[in-house]
Structure 1
Amino acid sequence: MMSMMGGGMMLTMVLWILIVGFIIYGIIRFLMKQNTKKENTSLIEKRGDSSVDVLRERFARGEIEKQEFEDRKEILQNK
């Protein structure tokens, strides 16, 4: 009977450690994502990139496809 209680307590402790770990991981991940967004925005503002330069960077990173790049570039250059 004693070993069953010890095993149950151990399982409960492991589950709490996992729950707290996931919460801490989520908070750290959220804060890092917010920091990255601020850095990207500030870099663009500091350099004074034109919208076409930003579009080129997005294309280079693979965020947009070639056709979308060409379409948006044409729209921006016609402004």
Structure 2
Amino acid sequence: MMGGTGMFMMLLWIVVLGLLIYGVYRLFSRRTDKQEGDAMLVLEEKFARGEISEEELRRRKAVLTED
């Protein structure tokens, strides 16, 4: 059976691996959310300036939010 040190090292590696996976997930999820949010802001600004119609705004938002 494992000693106290072996059990500690196993738990340490599990924690490190979990943090690594979580960090990669957060990195990519933030990037996607930020890009989508920036695009939405640009669309809303164009609509506010009268550069695109309400119909065009809705169509482009639908394209951005579809999965």
- Asked whether the two chains share a fold, i.e. TM above 0.5, the reply is yes
The residue that corresponds to 1:16 in the other structure is 21
Q: For residue 24 of structure 1, report the CA deviation from its aligned partner.
A: 1.1
Count residues with an aligned counterpart.
46
Counterpart pick for 1:39 among 24, 36, 44: 44
| Percent identity over paired residues | 11
**Over aligned residues, Cα RMSD in angstroms?**
1.2
Cα displacement (A) at 1:39: 0.6
Give the greater-gyration-radius structure (CA): 1
- Structure 1 gap segments, 5+ residues each: 47-79
Q: Where in structure 2 are there 5+ consecutive unaligned residues?
A: 1-5, 52-67
More relative contact order in 1 or in 2 (CA 8 Å, sep 6+)?
A: 2
Runs of 4+ in 1 over 3 A off after TM superposition: none
Q: TM-score, normalised by structure 2?
A: 0.62
